Structure 1
Amino acid sequence: MFYQRFTFRVIAGLLLINLCVILLIYLVITTRFWFTITGLAIFTTLMVYTLYGYMNQLNQDIKRFRTAVNTRDHTLAFSKKAARSSFPELYVTFEEILRSQKNIQLEQDAFFQLTQTILQQIPAGIIVLKENQQDEKPVEISLLNTAAADLLQTPSYTYWHRLAERNPEFAAEVEAVRQGGKRFVALTVADKKVQLSLEVVPLQLYQHNYSIIYFQNIKDEIESKESEAWNRLVGVISHEILNSITPISSLSDTVNSLIADKQSLNAEDLEDIRPAIQTIRRRSEGLLDFVKDYRLIAELPAPDLKPLAVGETLQHIKVLMHPFAAGKQIRLQIEQTSAKITFSADLKLVEQALINLVTNSIHALEGIKDPHILIDYKLEGRKVYITVTDNGKGITAEHMDKIFVPFFSTRNQGSGIGLTITRNIMKMHSGTLEVSSIPFQQTSFTLVFNAIEWKSVN
């Protein structure tokens, strides 16, 4: 009601106090009714005290609300006061704010529990470090999931220095990339050798510095990939050897049967033996070439790294491969630029890698209408990309995972070592070989090097 409103009650109280004060002054000056004067003074004092208590109660409620918000105390309620106070809207707002804050807190707690559950179920180790602003305080471990404790065979410590004392090798590797980075490490944990992929991500949140340490055991994965690669390699080698040994063995039996129990050979016997011997020789030479190819893959020379200009390197390739491409009626195009991009590499090995890629493109363009090969390059993110692109037959999805297997080839006369050698050359240069293909439209092989210098030519 209107008489319960704050403004009305304050104005009425102030007017009544003023009237009492005026009347009290008048009585003191004009009369000697001391009993009346004393009663009026007491009444005026009570009015002032009542008005002050009314104002102070509101102030106390505001303080209680502010404290509840700061301390996230969701037990405080203003619903009763909202029904009988002079500020129903204010107390209703207080109630709504506290209820909203409670709901937000519950949602945050639920999401935190969900995140904690997910992190505990992840098979990779995760450790979150919280660095204190004061140097004398130790670094705290905000999170150490189950996988991290199992991989490191360590309890859930509260402080990083305790874990570092238990696993000094791991702590040293983490410190090496503490500012951010990734590396592969080999550690001894509980007298067992483990190989870890370790990554540290620095992060700043709410004026605190965090370090997220992510690591996983890749020993089993590496062994699985090695086993798979060896199985593929052994399969290819066995296939090639059997292809050569089977006819050699068969022809040897044939020759042996022709000369068995004979002291001398006539012209007819020699005519029968001669093609068998020639075939044995040819297959033996093929087997010898196969072994040489294998040694070529396994015994690549260490690169002699020197600064190379991309443009000059591609010019060498143009001189070497243009006659071969022209003889096949293939248009070989090499993009030029006014900029010099320099990277560290071995010229002979890089030329060999590019020759392998261009040669593969030339063979892939057999029977293709308007065949062309484009070689271009670019500098992006301090990396040099040299790309060989053709519009040939391309690589099917079925063969994409096999093209780097030694001796695998889709050509009848192919050795199957060109791409293997090329990828090994890139690994020796700490680079990568990337491939993408849309059959009969565009196939690209890209050599990725780390650039060391970039200059514009005026």
Structure 2
Amino acid sequence: MFYKRFTFRLIFRLTVINLLAYLLFYLVKNTQLWFTIIGVSLILLGTIISLYYYINEIRSDIKRFILAVKTRDHTLNFKNKATKGSFPELYESFGDILQVHKQIRLEQEAMFQLIKTILEQVPVGVIVVNNTKTTDGNEEIAFFNQAASNLLGVPAYKYWHRLKQHIPTFSNEIEQIAAGGKRFLELKIQDKLIQLSTEVIPLNLYSKNYTIISFQNIKDEIEQKETEAWNRLIGVISHEILNSITPISSLSDTINSMVSDKQNLNADEMEDLKTALQTIKRRSSGLLDFVKDYRLIAELPTPNLESHTIGEILKHIKVLMQPFAKVKNVVLDVEQTSSKITVQLDLKLIEQVLINLITNSIYAVEEQEIPHISVNYRLEHNKLYIYVTDNGKGIESSDLEKIFVPFYTTRKNGSGIGLTISRNIMKMHRGSIEVISVPNEQTTFSLLFNYV
């Protein structure tokens, strides 16, 4: 009702205060009714105090509401004042806001519990470290799932320094890629060797820095891949050796039958003998070359990492490969040779990789009307890509993985070790080599480096 409204009550109180003040002024000036004057003064003082408490009550309610929102206190209730107070709409809005705030809070907690449950169930170890140090100077672990505890063989520690004391090798490796990146780790946990594929992601959330560490044991997968690789390699080696040994063995039997029980050989027999011996020599040399190529793959030197700019690398490649491309009538575009972006690598080894890729591309575009090869780079987040793209015949999808198998080649007179060596060199740089190909349209080989 209107008489409960704040405006009416305020005007009524102010009117009463003004009337009492006028009456008090009149009594003091024109009469000597001291008891009446004292009584009116007390009533006026009480009315002023009542007005103060009335206004202060509203201010106090607003203050309580703001504090409840700040502290996420959902127990505050304004239902009584929404029906009986001076500001029913205001108090009703307060209640609605607190209810919506409570609902959002409950939804956030439910989503957090859902994500936490999912992370507890996945077989991937997840550790989240709050990089804001406590008063003791320690970093607190915000999340440590059961998989992480099982993989590392440790309890779910609350502080990072405790985990560091227990598994220094793991923590040191993580700190080396704290800015973000992936790393392969081998750890001995409780006399058992495990191989972890580890990734670190830095995250800034609400002005706080976090480090998300995820890792999984890939020992079984690696062993399976190694077995498959060995089977493929043994198949290739067996095929090459059999191809060389079979004619050698056959020719040896032929020579043996030619010379056995004979003291002299006529001219035709001597010619046949020479031919057979030359064939044996040629196949033996081929077999020796095959073994040398295999040793070349297995005995790559350790990279000598130094700082080099991308422009420097591309400029060297352009000088090296441009003459060869020109002889083959291939347009070779090496772009962005002035780039100042610096990366840690072994220049000689990476040049060898690029030489292998560009050489392969030159042979791949031989049958094209307008043969074209381009070399450029791209920096994205903490990844650096160097691309070699050509418009050659491309690679069939069934051959995309086989091309990295030692001695596998689709090129006539190719050795089949160039891409194998290139992939090994990139792995030694903690990078990788990737390929995307659309036959007879475009093929792109990418060298991927971690850029920190």
Bin for the TM-score computed over the shorter chain: 0.7 to 0.9
Deviation (angstroms), 1:271? 8.6
CA displacement, residues 279-312 of structure 1 (integer Å, 9 cap, x when unaligned)? 5555444333322322333334667889866445
Which residue is 1:293 aligned to?
Answer: 293
The answer to whether structure 1 residue 73 and structure 2 residue 77 are counterparts is no
Q: Secondary structure at the match of 2:117?
A: helix
**How many angstroms does 1:345 deviate by?**
5.2
5 Å-filtered alignment, 1:396-415, equals: 396-411=396-411, 413-415=413-415
Match of 2:86 in 1: 86
C-alpha displacement of 1:408 = 0.6
- Aligned pairs (5 A) from 1:10-409: 10-23=10-23, 26=26, 47-48=47-48, 50-132=50-132, 135-178=135-178, 180=180, 182-250=182-250, 258=257, 262=261, 270=269, 274=273, 280-300=280-300, 310-311=314-315, 313-320=317-324, 322-323=326-327, 325=328, 330-333=329-332, 335=334, 339=338, 353=353, 356-366=356-366, 368-374=367-373, 376-377=375-376, 388-409=388-409
Q: Which deviates further from its counterpart, 94-103 or 281-290?
A: 281-290
Question: What whole-Å deviation, never above 9, does each CA across 1:33-68 have from its counterpart, x for those lacking one?
Answer: 788777766665664555444334333433432332
Q: SS of the counterpart of 2:187? A: strand
Counterpart for residue 455 of structure 1: none
Please give the secondary structure, in 1, of the residue aligned with 2:402. coil
Instruction: Please say if residues 130 and 142 of structure 1, whose CA atoms lie closer than 8 Å, have aligned partners that are also in contact.
Output: yes
Q: Give the whole-Å Cα distance in 2 for the aligned partners of 1:310 and 1:346.
A: 11
**Deviation (angstroms), 1:244:** 3.0
Letter in 2 for 1:68: A
Aligned residues with identical type, % of pairs: 52
Q: Give the unaligned 5+ runs of structure 2.
A: none
CA distance in 1, matches of 2:222, 2:7: 79
Moved more, 203-212 or 269-278: 269-278
Alignment of 1:419-438 (within 5 A): 419-425=419-425, 433-438=433-438
The letter of the residue matching 2:128 is V
Give yes or no for contact 1:373–1:388 (8 Å, CA) kept in 2. Answer: no
Structure 2 SS opposite 1:403: helix
Q: Residues 76 and 311 from structure 1, CA distance in 2 versus in 1: closer, same or farther, beyond 3 angstroms?
A: closer
Q: 1:37 to 1:118 in 2, by over 3 A?
A: same
Distance 1:397 1:73, change over 3 A: same
Shift of the alpha carbon at 1:143? 1.0
- Given the two structures, how large is their TM-score scaled by the length of structure 2? 0.79
Q: Whole-Å Cα distance in 1 between the matches of residues 139 and 303 of structure 2? A: 44
Distance 1:172 1:217 in 2: 18
Q: How many residues align?
A: 443
Aligned AA (1:114):
L
| Matched letter for residue 150 of structure 1 | N
Q: Structure 2: how far apart are the matches of 1:363 and 1:283?
A: 26
Q: Which amino acid aligns with 1:244?
A: S
2:418 aligns with: 418
Residues 125 and 151, structure 2, Cα contact 8 Å, conserved in 1: yes
Alpha carbons of structure 1 residues 133 and 151: separation in structure 2 relative to 1, 3 Å: closer
Q: CA deviation at 1:211?
A: 3.0
- The CA distance in 1 between the partners of 2:193 and 2:420, in whole Å, is 30
Q: For the residues of structure 2 that align with 1:369 and 1:172, how far apart are their CA atoms?
A: 52
TM-score by length of 1: 0.78
Q: 1:151 to 1:385 in 2, by over 3 A?
A: closer
Matched letter for residue 235 of structure 1? G
How far off its partner does 1:89 sit? Answer: 1.0
3-state SS, counterpart of residue 7 of structure 1: helix
* Superimposed CA distance per residue, residues 152-202 of structure 1 (whole angstroms, 9 cap, x where no aligned partner): 211122223333333233333344444555544333322223333444444
Change (3 A) 1:159 1:422: closer
Q: Is the 8 A contact 1:310 1:340 kept in 2?
A: no
RMSD of aligned residue pairs (Cα, Å): 4.3
Structure 1 window deviating more from structure 2 (161-170 vs 428-437): it is: 428-437
The C-alpha deviation readout for 1:398-419, integer Å capped at 9, x for no partner, is: 1111111111112454332232
Give the aligned residue type for 2:233: L
In structure 1, the residue corresponding to 2:216 is in which secondary structure? strand
Give yes or no for contact 2:131–2:209 (8 Å, CA) kept in 1.
yes
- Distance across 1 between alignment mates of 2:144 and 2:10: 60
